[in-house]
Amino acid sequence: MSNINRRVPDVDQYIPLNDPPIGSAFPADIFPQNTKLPKLFQPITLRGVTFKNRIWVSPMCQYSSDNGHATDWHFVHIGGFATRGVGAICMEATAVVPEGRISPEDAGLWTDSQMEPLKRIVNFAHSQGTLIGVQLAHAGRKASTLAPWVHSSFGGTRRATTWTSKEDEGGWPNGVYAPSEVAFSPDYPTPKAMDDAYLQYVEDAFVKTVERCKEIGFDFIELHGAHGYLLHEFVSPLSNLRTDQYGGSLENRLRWPLRVISRCREAWSKPLFVRISATDWAEGPEKGPDGEWKQWGIEQSKIFLEEMQNLGVDLVDCSTGGNWVKQKITVGPGYQVPFAEELKKAYPEFPIGAVGMITEPEQAESYLQDGKADVVFLARELLRNPHWPLFAARKLGAAVKPANQYERAFADLLVPKSA
């Protein structure tokens, strides 16, 4: 038996090898408590890629990029998740064109110079046995806005008079594009309606960015079709007032987003996800008595999902809201999960991700056990407790691998117990 502290192979520095990978369950013949393994820690395979567990990091904007380039903040932020047992990490909304950023400090992948800092992050995640992807995005009419803490602090010490980031603040308020010339609110820029040339330019930009993702080495891509950003703006009748082939009927409103998804699918052989908002949370019914769709909602989302399934999308990440400034949402634990459940009922074989104030291990496990979703995406709870997967294993009675370097803090997970 060798007593060498083995290194991760094929990396340019010494990093101890974690075997099995961090966050994976130990074999039941050694740890009998894993005979009936919680679904959170059961692997899932999508398009030939196996994710070691079903606790995934949601994309979380950090408003910390340097002209779209990732920095050491991102390396530490993402690297911390990679060492703590999550099954997958989805990096934040990453713009495919400069004017598609939410804020001047948003991430981007519209030029080759933005690839190298992302390669460094991806390579580190892989050295820890963690899969990593990226969310590709265009902010549409919600572009050129201030970072949240620049607009207003949680402590209430400051509040800007507008959400719009002006030219002298790094913004581009006169270069914002959307399906229609309808601002999200009076505090946001008034967008220009996208003409055929700009539609083609953005569509091509998504494909070029997918090619960069291949070279970087991402394991999956998520397209951002939620939260009132460009793809969501197209599908919703509240933000899409066009009278051409891209507006009006549901078929027309879906036309361009589906074309973008289709071209990304053709260009990308690995798992492809799409995040949607399953409802606009606007007042009134989704469909009026005249049979016309009034706002975006779950019934149109089901039709959208069927179209994506036909195109070969591998998972829908089900969120809600963000497209109607007057939205009224009753927020509580798992408040968005019923929408994931509705999609899952409609298409039982289609993988669905659930999000939204998922904080407790028993809560997350119940969603998977009850068939409401196939994976859970966590955001703020992982910011509060990056070791959440190991705490979940402890609560659910599973034996799961901590990082070698952190084993002393989780010694109780490494004790075989009767099933």
Q: Model confidence over 104-122: pLDDT tens digits? A: 999 999 999 999 999 999 9
* 48-65 tens-digit pLDDT: 999 999 999 999 999 999
**Would you kindly state where each structural domain of the chain is located, as residue ranges?**
32-414
CA angle, corner 371, sides to 369 and 372, nearest 5? 110
Residue 382's pLDDT is 98
User: 240: which 2 tokens?
Assistant: 């899409």
Residue 402's pLDDT is 98
**Residue the block writes with tokens 């933000």:** 239
Q: Which CATH topology does 32-414 take?
A: TIM Barrel (3.20.20)
Q: How far apart are CA 397 and CA 240, in angstroms?
A: 49
Number of Cβ within 10 Å of residue 43's Cβ equals 13
Is the pLDDT reported for residue 126 higher than 70?
yes
Q: Which sequence positions are flagged as catalytic?
A: 229
pTM: 0.97
The single-letter code of the amino acid at 111 is: T
Is the pLDDT reported for residue 210 higher than 90?
yes
* 225-246 tens-digit pLDDT: 999 999 999 999 999 999 999 9
Residue 276's pLDDT is 98
Q: How confident is the model at residue 2 (pLDDT cuts 50, 70, 90)?
A: confident
Mean pLDDT computed over 69-73: 98
State the distance between the two ends of the chain, measured CA to CA, in whole angstroms. 30
Rg over CA atoms, the chain: 22
Residue 270's pLDDT is 98
User: 165: which 2 tokens?
Assistant: 């980031």
**Surface-to-core class of residue 136, CB atoms within 10 Å of its CB (0-12 exposed, 13-18 middle, 19+ buried):** buried
In whole angstroms, how far apart are CA 94 and each of 121, 133, 332? 14, 11, 28
User: 270: which 2 tokens?
Assistant: 């690995």
Is the pLDDT reported for residue 419 higher than 80?
no
Residue 21's pLDDT is 97
Residue 1's pLDDT is 64
Is the pLDDT reported for residue 300 higher than 80?
yes
Q: How confident is the model at residue 157 (pLDDT cuts 50, 70, 90)?
A: confident
Give the rounded percent of residues in the chain with a pLDDT score beyond 90.
97
Number of Cβ within 10 Å of residue 267's Cβ equals 17
* Summary mean pLDDT of the chain: 97
Q: How far apart are CA 209 and CA 277, in angstroms?
A: 23
The single-letter code of the amino acid at 129 is: G
Residue 418's pLDDT is 84
